[in-house]
Amino acid sequence: MKAMLALALTILSLNTFSATSIYKSGSSKFVTNEQFLKEIPANARVILGEYHYNHLIQGAQAQIIKDVVKATYSENSFTVGWEFLNYTAQSEIDHNFEMFSDDKIDLAKFFQGLSVSKNNLVYAPILKAVKDLGGQLLGLNIERSVKKKLITGGIKAVDPKYVPADFQLGDKNYRKRFNTVMGSHVPREKLDGYFLAQCFTDSVMSQALITNSTFDLQFVVAGSFHTDYFSGTVAQLKRDKSLPVITIKLIDTIGMGKKEIGELTNPSKEFGPIADYIFLL
């Protein structure tokens, strides 16, 4: 326990980040952080596509949230939805986050109360930003047990109350990228079931944010496969026209060469740009 708390304090101390570059795909130019902030409206869904469990990336996500909230004067009126929490446990999330915000429990206890792994302490900067700026924390996902039923039995195997009203599968490009990533991990005959579960998760996260967010400045913290190339959860959110969707891809460039970075910033010939903004850390 002491070791985990020490880790949390270390992570919380990393409350700033330095983006070496911010690339704007729409103009094919690099922009400053000040220019980036001027382009983010107070009413928008800001998608923070991440690689999980990376201190640099999670620290950068927290700083983006803080900067955007302050730049848009949105203290006490913004939402952060997180892939690693389930919307079905929202009442427990609300209770535990209130306890954390009132300094009655620490983050280790917060996760324990939600039966969430303490490995997620790497996300401490994000949760602290929500706490310090008076935001709303939402769970976006659903239990793995539900997804397992999807994989083996299809959509009809799931209780209809869990199926989003507008559920649909991702497009052919999403499926192609999914097959490329998962093809070596999943038997060919099971790919359909796993893709169904992937798209179901996208729809669930989209619906949870749209339905449960109290505010019109909304952030989504989710794995980059759900957010890259405007597919997945992003595609589902874009079907709702009530708020604009702005996507950010965060990349830890430590150890990367110019060629590898260029491949990420340049639009894919097949899939187009990976995000509206690319933060190279």
| DSSP annotation string for the chain | -HHHHHHHHHHHH------SEEEETTTTEEE-HHHHHHTS-SSEEEEEEE-SS-HHHHHHHHHHHHHHHHHTT-TTS-EEEEEEEEGGGHHHHHHHHHHHHTTSS-HHHHHHHTT--GGGGGGHHHHHHHHHTT-EEEEEE--HHHHHHHHHH-GGGS-GGGS-TT-----HHHHHHHHHHHTTTS-GGGHHHHHHHHHHHHHHHHHHHHHH--SSEEEEEEEGGGTGGG-THHHHHHT-TTS-EEEEEEE--TT--HHHHHHHHSPBTTTB-S-SEEEE-
Which pLDDT value is given to residue 72? 98
| 18 residue type, one letter | S
Largest CA distance in the chain: 52
Question: Are the C-beta atoms of 171 and 231 separated by less than 8 Å?
Answer: yes
Residue ranges of domains in the chain, CATH in brackets: 2-280 (3.40.50.11550)
Q: Which two tokens stand for residue 106?
A: 């620490």
Query: Within 13 Å and on the Cβ side, how many CA atoms surround 218?
Result: 26
Distance CA 158, CA 7 (A): 39
pTM score, whole prediction: 0.91
pLDDT score at 19: 52
Contacts of 183 by beta carbon, 8 Å cutoff, 6+ apart: 191
Could you read off the pLDDT tens digit of each residue along the chain, which spans 281 residues? 444 444 444 444 334 445 579 999 999 999 999 999 999 999 999 999 999 999 999 999 999 999 999 999 999 999 999 999 999 999 999 999 999 999 999 999 999 989 888 789 999 999 999 999 999 999 999 999 999 999 999 999 999 999 998 899 999 999 999 999 988 788 888 999 999 999 999 999 999 999 999 999 999 999 999 999 999 999 999 999 999 999 999 999 998 888 888 888 899 999 999 999 999 99
| Predicted pLDDT of residue 15 | 41
CB atoms within 10 A of CB 257: 9
